[in-house]
Amino acid sequence: VSQYTTGGPGLAVWFTGLSGAGKTTLCHALADTLQATGLTVAILDGDEMRRTVCSDLGYGREDREENIRRIASIAQGMVASGTVVLVAAISPYRAMRAEVRHRIRNFVEVYVNAPLATCVARDPKGLYRRALAFEIDSFTGISSPYEPPLAPEIECRTGEESVQASTARLIADFDRLWKLRPEVSYAGS
């Protein structure tokens, strides 16, 4: 990876996809590489946000929208001050992601695309098993919708490619997109 000059706005790299698709894993892999180039990198993870600033929210549409809005608002401030913010959140609603894109402007959408059957088989947190046993309501992909991106800047097919392969492409794509980002930051609301 090339060295990046700092100064100017950062970039939000927004990972969307089903639970268990690999958003957190890829975020951390990209963060490790980018940190080594001198960029200031931060990760905002849905699970972590829901333990802290979003702990009052549930999984109905309105609460998920509020969750994404709060994450976006934190991300926006950090991007304006030059940080590369990697967000890992299911963010299942297309309209909401469009709103975030419009608001943050320096925004790249990464679709972490693994088939539902693969996520159910992996079930890293045991949540699909519980959702399929009706022990959890409104579970994304089971009893709550996931609207896949129609034109993401980057797509990682994590059902078929390795973490290493996805990460390598993410880094190459980041390099290209970083050079294309607007020079002027946008801190408005």
Q: Which residues bind ligand ADX (CB under 6 A)?
A: 19, 46-47, 50, 59, 64, 67-68, 89-92, 125, 127, 136, 138-140, 144
For residues 136 and 168, which CB has a smaller minimum distance to ligand ADX in the complex?
A: 136
Backbone CA torsion sign across 24, 28, 34, 39: positive
For residues 55 and 189, which CB has a smaller minimum distance to ligand ADX in the complex?
A: 55
Least distance (Å) from ligand ADX to the CB of residue 16? 8
Catalytic choice (73, 81, 91, 143): 91
Q: Known catalytic residue: 166?
A: no
Strands lying side by side in the sheet with 41-45: 41-45, 84-88, 11-16, 107-112, 154-156
Least distance (Å) from ligand ADX to the CB of residue 119? 10
For residues 136 and 177, which CB has a smaller minimum distance to ligand ADX in the complex?
A: 136
Nearest residue by C-beta to ligand ADX?
Answer: 46
For residues 40 and 103, which CB has a smaller minimum distance to ligand ADX in the complex?
A: 103
Least distance (Å) from ligand ADX to the CB of residue 125? 5
Backbone CA torsion sign across 177, 112, 125, 90: positive
Token couple for 157: 């097919």
Pairing of β 41-45 and β 11-16: unpaired
Task: Count CA atoms within 13 Å of residue 5 on its CB side.
Answer: 4
Active site residues per annotation: 91
